[in-house]
Amino acid sequence: MSDTILIIGACGQIGTELTQKLREIYGNQQVIASDIREGNDEMKRSGPFEILDATDKEGILKTVQKHQVTQVYLMAAMLSATAEQHPQKAWELNMNSLLAVLELAKEKHIKQVYWPSSIAAFGPTSPKVQTPQKTIMEPSTVYGISKLAGEHWCNYYHEKFGVDVRSLRYPGIISWKTKPGGGTTDYAVDIYFKALEEQKYECFLTEETRLPMMYMQDAIAATIQIMQADAEKIKNRTSYNLAAMSFTPKEIAAAIQKEIPEFTISYKADFRQQIADSWPQIIDDSDARNDWGWQQHFDLDAMTKDMLKNLS
C-alpha cells in the first residue's frame, strides 16, 4: 500500500493503539505518529515521531510535506468532562485542529481525512434508545457542541470542495494500554484497574446510568474499515453512528464479579452525571452496518475477560 499516514494526537488513548495497528498494516515508516507531547519509547522506536500542535496549520503542512503524507487521522481533542472545565480552550482545540486539516485537504496537500465524532453530539432532546442516525441533535456540553459543529464542517468540505473526510460517532472506548483522560465514560476503564488493585471502586455515575460503549479492538477495526471502504459506500459525510454494547455501572460491576467475586462497587455521582444523562443510552448503527459492513466482536463479558487478563 502506498499511503503515508499522519496521526495527530498519537499519544492519546485511541491514538496509541491506532498507531500500532496502522504500522502493522501499512509498515512502520509509512505511519508518522505526532503529538504535542513526547511519544513513549515504543512509539518512537517503531517509526517516525514528530512533536506537533494540532491547531498549528503551518506545522502540520510542514510535517505533511516532509513525509509526503497522503492521509491524516486527527485524534487530538479535549473530551467532555475536561471541556466543561475549559470551554474556550476545548472549542479552540477541537475546532481549529479540524479546520486546519480540512483546509489542507481542500488545498490538495492530503487526500483523505479521518476525524472522530462522539455520542456527545446528541443531547437531552435526542431519543435515548435506538438513537437514529438522523434525529434531533441539541448537545448541552461544549464537547458535544464542538462535535456536532465538526460533523457539519466535514460534510460542508465534502460537499463544497470534494474533501474525502470520514467520521464515526464513538461511544465510550474501553482499553488497557493507555488510559483515557477527561471523559465521562472513563469510569468504565478505571473500574478494571481498581478491580485488580483494590477489589473495590467508587463510581462517579449512578448505578443505572446506561451508556453506549465499545472495546478498543472494535473501535480501531471500525476506524480502519471506514477509511479503507470504497468512497461510494460512504453515504454519510457528517459522521456514522457506531455501536457495540450498552451497559450501566451496575452491569459492568456484575460482569467483573463473575471474574473477581470479592469486587464491590459504590456510587458517588459528581458533575459528570449531568453530562451522562444528556447522552443516548443505546445507539442505532444500522447505517454503518448496511453501508460499509460494520460488525463488532466484543460484548461486555468478552471484553471483561480480555481486560482483566491483559491488566493482571
| By the rule CB under 6 A, 172 interacts with ligand AKB | yes
Nearer to ligand AKB, 39 or 172 (CB): 172
Rounded Cα distance, 113 and 3, in Å: 12
- To ligand AKB, the closest distance from the beta carbon of 113 in angstroms equals 19
Nearest partner of 276 among 78, 9, 79, 74, judged by Cα: 79
Chain residues 42-81 in contact with ligand AKB, contact rule CB under 6 A: 79-80
On whether the CB atoms of residues 50 and 38 are closer than 8 A, the answer is no
Q: For ligand AKB, which stretch binds (CB under 6 A), given 64-72, 181-189, 246-254, 260-268?
A: 181-189
Binding ligand AKB (rule: CB under 6 A), the pick from 16, 131, 184, 223 is 184
**Cα distances (Å, whole numbers) of residue 51 to 32, 146, 280:** 11, 24, 36
On whether the CB atoms of residues 269 and 248 are closer than 8 A, the answer is no
- To ligand AKB, the closest distance from the beta carbon of 161 in angstroms equals 27
Nearest partner of 237 among 134, 158, 145, judged by Cα: 158
* Annotated catalytic residue 267: no
Q: 97-136 mask for ligand AKB (x: CB under 6 A)?
A: ---------------------xxx----------------
- To ligand AKB, the closest distance from the beta carbon of 171 in angstroms equals 6
Nearer to ligand AKB, 120 or 307 (CB): 120
Q: For ligand AKB, which stretch binds (CB under 6 A), given 65-73, 97-105, 179-187, 289-297?
A: 179-187
The H-assigned helical ranges of 33-169 are: 41-46, 57-67, 80-85, 87-106, 142-161
Measured in degrees and rounded to the nearest 5, phi and psi for residue 74 equal: -95, 95
Rounded Cα distance, 245 and 298, in Å: 8
As given in the structure block, the three cell numbers for residue 47 are: 517509526
Nearer to ligand AKB, 189 or 253 (CB): 189
Residues designated as active site: 143
Q: Which residues bind ligand AKB (CB under 6 A)?
A: 79-80, 118-120, 143, 170, 172, 183-185
